[in-house]
Chains A and B, each alone.
Chain A
Amino acid sequence: MRQELSKRGVDVRITVNKMRYVIVGNSIAGIGGIEGIRSIDKDGEIILISEEPYRVYSRPLISYLLAGKITDEKMYYREEDFYDKNGVKVLFGEKAKEIDPKSKEVVTEKDTIRYDKLLLTVGGKPFIPPIKGIQKRGVFTFAGWDDVKAIGDFLRENDAKRSVIVGGGMIGIKSAEALKNLRFLAYANRRFATTLRECGLNVTIVELMERILPMALDEEGGNIYEEHLIENGIDIITGDGIEEILGEDEVSGVKLKSGKRIECRIVIVAIGVHPNIELAESAGLKVDRGIKVDRVMQTSKKDIYAAGDCVESYNILLEEEMPIPILPLAYKGGFTAGVNMAGGKGRSEYHGGFPMNSIQAFDLPLISLGMVNPDGGCEVLSARDGKNYKRLVLKDGKIFGYLAIGNIDRAGIVAGMMKEGMNVEKFKEAIMEDDFGLIYLPKDIRDNKLRG
């Protein structure tokens, strides 16, 4: 095995005291891991196992790429020389099949790789519901670069005019905007330029819940955002699901649970993402909805760490562990894991977080923090002016949820107060002001911030 690795350029010299870190997964948490390790240990060997053949890119950017708002070059999350600079050997196109915690080895299709410390950043996978006809040509997920390529290829070869998006969450809305905006490809993206019509697709979003973004928005916020999408030509059907995907081998339409039929050539399944837990589970790691980790991001097995969309994070608002698949927590968790793997002490504990999302479609920004739809026992303040909307949810004087549509400026101050668990009872009304800022905070808190 050592010879094989050596042939492929992996440094297999036996050196004393030199750690070998192995990272499975080449996305945000994995990169956080590399940067965390390197903040402590400049010399240890890092081997990164990357299933996808690409150097690290940003998944949230795939909708920008599909819409032609950015080019391929802008997809990359780090500079081209990132791995070299950080002394990382990347095994592209390899999949980790098994982990043996006893012998401390990761088995891929080609090799068995020994590790001293292992980091699992294996992410999530799109949930594909068992709908009749889901395997037909023209059905896509929307989670990675390959999905954009597949959708692009399909659109180039097929005269598709209508599309259905299954799921009105973040991914559903961003893919809807991208498909609607496809007309921009005619001049914005060379690869599609000669083949696409100068017109976006008709897009219908089908959401099972009573509104789009059911977690991130409340009823009124949902109304505002739905109206905005409709104004921009997106059709929205809520409270209904897909019964069947129609067509022979290729998609010709969908049949809804209500019986309604929609003609379309392309279906994008955007229901949500589930943590990839199979690898961890087969290695005997403790797993619930995601991989279980402690405050230093170590799993139930010594020397195996995990971070990113594959783990459960501590939700500081609900005070329970759950998957919170958002990029900021992926990076932070990965970095924290890296620091601890390298034996560092500073920045070495991870205290969890809460769901937060910044999203905009057709130029209407929206920021949603924490729990905007509480079960009860909460005080709610809200204010609306046209498309501008704010909603503040308070529990025992602390901010439990916050939503801003339109005027999202300074929302980070609110997020910061939520993270700190600050009691805002005395100035809660001020948070609702249009020009809310540090100046509205009590002087002692403000002084503290300004000195920060």
Chain B
Amino acid sequence: MRRIYVKEDVCIGCRLCEIYCIVQHSKSKNIIKAFRNEPRPLPGVLVEEKGPISFALQCRHCDDAPCVESCITGAMQRLEDGRIICDIERCVGCWTCIMVCPYGAIRRDQNRKVASKCDLCIGEDIPVCVKNCPNEALTYE
């Protein structure tokens, strides 16, 4: 299964990956509407930055996924193609997945009280964060 990897030395910390992720997962998929009018989803990519170092982190879609094993509702699940998604209709925001993800790649969407994470952009050949990274710090392999 293909995963997103980051080259830390190449990441410039511009956070465009977050912007593209938000737009992609918004209702309209239009940047102006997504940022101005609609409830704004959390980005599934998380940029960490400290001093000169920065990198983007997404769900690793682990083969042996603690989030799926630990989910109390069954919302966190593996699709047939291997990717792991959170069904927000079933998620109750108990944060057990936050407790067990060894990468810290799952976020709390505090408005909707559900877990938020990378779904590798369902319906896209290449996730939008990878496609739009200006310095090619993200790869999908």
Contact = CB atoms under 8 A, between A and B. Distances in A.
Interface of A: 32, 58, 60-61, 64, 69-70, 74, 76-78, 327-328, 331-332, 335, 347, 356-360, 365, 367, 369, 408-413, 415-417, 419, 437-440, 446-447, 449-452
Given A438-B104, A439-B53, A450-B55, A74 B73 contact: yes
B19 interface: no
A9 to B, nearest CB: 26
A412 B6 CA distance: 20
B60 interface: yes
A419 B72 contact: no
B31 interface: no
Interface in B83-97: 90, 92, 94-97
Contact of B102 (A358, A365, A413): A413
Contacts of B96: 327-328, 358
Contact of A60 (B8, B72, B99): B72
B100 interface: yes
Contacts of A358: 94-96, 98-99
Nearest to A369: B99
Given A358-B96, A360-B94, 6 more contacts: A77-B74, A78-B74, A328-B66, A360-B95, A416-B101, A438-B48
B50 interface: yes
User: Is chain A's interface secondary structure helix, strand, loop, or mixed overall?
Assistant: helix
User: Is chain B's interface secondary structure helix, strand, loop, or mixed overall?
Assistant: mixed
Interface string B1-37: 0000110100000000000000000000000000000
Given A69-B92, A413-B103, A438-B104, A408 B73 contact: no
B40 interface: no
Nearest to B93: A360
20 contacts: A32-B69, A60-B72, A74-B73, A76-B74, A328-B69, A331-B69, A356-B100, A367-B99, A408-B95, A412-B97, A412-B99, A412-B103, A413-B102, A413-B103, A416-B103, A438-B48, A438-B103, A449-B102, A450-B5, A452-B62
A415 B90 contact: no
Contacts of A367: 95, 98-99
A413 B103 CA distance: 5
A58 B53 contact: no
A410 B104 contact: yes
Contact of A409 (B55, B57, B98): B98
